[in-house]
């Protein structure tokens, strides 16, 4: 039996969603974030040395990293939600599966970190310096990069319902987290109708709703 070690308000929510889409039987082991640091609890280190979520166990097999988990689960389901090998859709699928964490998430994570630096406790005399440095990095590098990434994703959905084409795939599950994260921080607003439409479509999927029921509260940090 597959067990998903599910950290609240985290990337593991999309693994729950994928499990529901694939109709694979699974169990949920829930973990709560530290109330002060928002980090995962030490108990997750007993599952994987890095102590991060998502991670799944399946008998003696332990799989970490969302992309690796997605590939493992898709194979367990007989290649469901993955386009046929050798097709243009398969090439797009592979690209977007890796793009989600490789290109889309880094500017979002960096924005989260530098915005927290601006609010972090520090001596009063250091606060203006820290804020000035954070704003310089955000305005000069992170925000322009995020804008390019969102514009690229928006353009890719201009003629497609899903990232691989007409059919929904596991790559769309991977792409859900960076787009939801961007939306939660006000980065989409009315400027990205295709990305907002993508969110509306995934939020209406029955499997997405079932995953929310299984996973519990889900709101993105930041």
Kindly give the parts of the chain with pLDDT less than 50: 221-222
Dump the DSSP string for the chain: -EEEEEETTSTHHHHHHHHHHHT--EEEEEE---TTT-PPPGGGGGTSTT--S-EEEETTEEEESHHHHHHHHHHHTTSTTSPPTTSHHHHHHHHHHHHIIIIIHHHHHHHHHHHHHHHS---TTTHHHHHHHHHHHIIIIIHHHHHHHHHHHHHHTSS-SBTTBSS--HHHHHHHHHHHHHHHTTSSTTT-HHHHHHHHHHHT-HHHHHHHHHH-------
**Overall CATH class of domain 88-205:** mainly alpha
pLDDT score, position 27: 97
Q: What is the pLDDT of residue 28?
A: 96
Write out the CATH class of domain 2-82+210-215. Answer: alpha beta
Token pair listed for 146: 């995020």
Where are the chain's structural domains?
Answer: 2-82+210-215, 88-205
Q: What is the pLDDT of residue 84?
A: 97
Q: How far is CA 28 from the centre of its chain?
A: 18
What whole-number percentage of the chain has pLDDT above 70? 99
Determine the pLDDT at residue 185: 87
> For position 216, what pLDDT does the model report?
82
């Amino acid at each position: 039996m597959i067990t998903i070690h599910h950290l609240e308000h985290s990337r593991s929510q999309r693994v729950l969603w994928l499990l529901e889409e694939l109709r694979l039987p699974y169990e949920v082991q829930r973990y709560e974030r530290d109330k002060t640091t928002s980090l995962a609890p030490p108990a997750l280190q007993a599952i994987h040395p890095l102590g991060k979520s998502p991670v799944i166990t399946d008998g003696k097999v332990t799989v970490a990293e969302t992309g690796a988990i997605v590939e493992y689960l898709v194979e367990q389901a007989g290649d469901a939600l993955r386009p046929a090998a050798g097709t243009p859709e398969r090439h797009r699928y592979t690209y977007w599966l890796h793009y989600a964490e490789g290109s889309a998430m880094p500017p979002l994570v960096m924005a989260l970190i530098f915005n927290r630096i601006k609010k972090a406790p520090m001596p009063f005399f250091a606060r203006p310096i820290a804020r000035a440095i954070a704003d310089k990095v955000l305005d000069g590098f992170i925000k322009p990069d995020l804008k390019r990434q969102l514009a690229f994703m928006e353009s890719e959905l201009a003629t497609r319902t899903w990232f691989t084409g007409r059919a929904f795939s596991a790559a769309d599950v991977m792409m859900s987290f960076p787009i939801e994260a961007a939306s939660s921080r006000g980065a989409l607003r009315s400027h990205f109708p295709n990305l907002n439409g993508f969110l509306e479509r995934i939020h209406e999927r029955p499997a997405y709703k079932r995953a929310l029921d299984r996973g519990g509260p889900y709101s993105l940090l930041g």
